[in-house]
Amino acid sequence: MTLDKTARTEQRRFADDPHRPRYHFLPEENWLNDPNGLIHWNGEYHLFYQYNPAGPFHGTIHWGHAVSMDLVHWRHLPVALVPDPGTADEDGCWSGVAVDDNGVPTLIYSGNRDGEQRACLAISNDGMLTWQKHPNNPVIPAPPEHLHLAQYRDHTVWREDDAWYQLMGAGLEGEGGAALLYRSQDLRSWEFLHPLLVGDAQRFTPIWTGTMWECPDFFALQGRHVLTISVWDHGQLHYSAAMVGDYRDYHFFPEVEHKLDYGDRHFYAPQSFTDAQGRRIIFGWIHEGRGAEAQLQSGWSGVMSLPRLLSLGTDGQVCMQPVPELEALRGEHTHTAAIDMPAGDEIVLPAVTGDTLEVLVELAPAESGRCGIVVRRSPDGAEATRILYDATQHQLIVDRTQSSQDLATDHNAHVAPLSLRPDEPLRLHIFLDRSVLEVFANMREAITSRIYPTRGDSLGVALLAEGAQARLVSLDAWQLRSTWEA
């Protein structure tokens, strides 16, 4: 990342912070939440995000803005949207999207006023450096009258059959989350059509979808349609979910429904976009896993996930993989050849150590027991984060029970269903960036997590088999470079 003077000052300020990521995107300081307005414009990737310049937990939400040529190295740009007193967004510029309106970059976002959110619009005439809000904001002044809405905000907008279409996230009293479909000719005047889909808060299988769907996103993928939502309930952020199915006559017929990432609120409010190469790329907000006081003291909160490429897996589910551009971060490489992993002991890999690592590991599990890899391990094993495949339970687990001796940080395990076929190896692709851990397994599951080891020597990597012998097929590890150095 090329840094201006302010950014350099911030980097010096945080130089001794052992939890601050080195290659994930985050603002120079203070609060980040949802990715917004993702768009590939004139060869540059634009990332807007929910940003609170007053610090974690105080003040109003703005739109931060950054730009990148390669999805990896970002340059901070001036704050894009600031709440304006006396207008529809005076209490915050909440989440939304960017579209190309015949050459004019246009934002649709939720203006927040007096606890209500309404669709607002802003355009840019100078290549997205400054934004002019529409004088008649909000462009959708009120929700549909006949619906009993408990919640109403967030947007996705697309072009179809010579018109613009929009989904707004909602919660219907006594029913569940919903995505409300609107149509417009000009992005400024919107006609409500009907709910594209309504959830059922009383249904718990295959997953529960809560009482409100935040940040709906809707797009075509490999001949099918995907709706992603963020599951909200009475102020609690739960997880992001994906539904895959067919879109016909302005209705959506989902057939497959699953959690998008099993790190729950550590991959929340995701938003995706299509780049010039036709790739569908998604970012999510990686929530903190430590208390409010620790966030206030650190001076920053919230991290953007790595960009992930979306595809449909052989199981019909949405699959996320880190984009190949991330290979640009690779530094020193180590390869570990095949070895047997007897049940019981952890096998420390002395050549692989650090807190900013990419690891590609292939293991042959037994038919029972657990095997995996340990990261951020102190030499005595007192702190350790275990990433394990449980062959009996058919689960991938990020075990955080010993991740930190700071008991005020999250210690629960994250668990994803994962059934390997007979003879199918466990293939883990792991990105460790100090307090951030992103794990991708077998082109199927993802677990994003946060860990806060307290010890400076919690840098070790080890292999682990429990209950049955396993085998390491191969392990490649790279030290990853910081994107914060010029």
Q: Which residues bind ligand DQQ (CB under 6 A)?
A: 33-34, 50, 61, 94-95, 110, 153-154, 214-215, 230, 268-269
Nearer to ligand DQQ, 34 or 399 (CB): 34
Q: Are 27 and 300 in contact (CB under 8 A)?
A: yes
Cα radius of gyration (the chain): 22
Phi and psi (nearest 5°) for 456? -65, -20
Distance of closest approach, residue 154 Cβ to ligand DQQ, in angstroms: 5
Question: What distance in Å separates the CA atoms of residue 385 and residue 382, rounded to the nearest whole number?
Answer: 10
Nearer to ligand DQQ, 167 or 375 (CB): 167
Nearer to ligand DQQ, 73 or 153 (CB): 153
Distance of closest approach, residue 477 Cβ to ligand DQQ, in angstroms: 33
Distance of closest approach, residue 213 Cβ to ligand DQQ, in angstroms: 9
Are β-strands 300-301 and 30-41 bridged in parallel, bridged antiparallel, or unpaired? parallel
Distance of closest approach, residue 215 Cβ to ligand DQQ, in angstroms: 6
Q: Are 100 and 41 in contact (CB under 8 A)?
A: yes
Nearer to ligand DQQ, 276 or 292 (CB): 292
Q: Is 424 exposed, middle or buried (0-12, 13-18, 19+ CB in 10 A)?
A: exposed
Q: Cis omega (within 30 of 0) on the bond before 35?
A: no
Q: Cis omega (within 30 of 0) on the bond before 206?
A: yes
Question: What distance in Å separates the CA atoms of residue 140 and residue 160, rounded to the nearest whole number?
Answer: 20
Distance of closest approach, residue 214 Cβ to ligand DQQ, in angstroms: 4
Distance of closest approach, residue 266 Cβ to ligand DQQ, in angstroms: 12
Catalytic residue selected from 34, 261, 264, 399: 34
Nearer to ligand DQQ, 154 or 358 (CB): 154
Q: Would you call 246 a catalytic residue per the annotation? A: no
Nearer to ligand DQQ, 60 or 482 (CB): 60
Tell which residue, 404, 78, 446, 33, has the closest CA to residue 241: 446
Question: What distance in Å separates the CA atoms of residue 240 and residue 453, rounded to the nearest whole number?
Answer: 26
Question: What distance in Å separates the CA atoms of residue 439 and residue 56, rounded to the nearest whole number?
Answer: 27
DSSP letter for each residue of 89-130: TTT-EEEEEEEEETTEEEEEEEEEETTEEEEEEEE-SSTTSS
Q: Is 44 exposed, middle or buried (0-12, 13-18, 19+ CB in 10 A)?
A: middle
How many CB atoms are located within 10 Å of the residue 246 CB?
12
Distance of closest approach, residue 374 Cβ to ligand DQQ, in angstroms: 32
Nearer to ligand DQQ, 68 or 95 (CB): 95
Nearer to ligand DQQ, 230 or 458 (CB): 230
The alpha carbon of 82 is separated from its chain's Cα centroid by a whole number of angstroms, namely 23
- CB-based contacts of 239, cutoff 8 Å, min separation 6: 230, 231, 259, 260, 261, 262, 264, 265, 267, 268
Distance of closest approach, residue 57 Cβ to ligand DQQ, in angstroms: 12
The helix/strand/coil state of 207 is coil
Supply the residues annotated as catalytic: 34
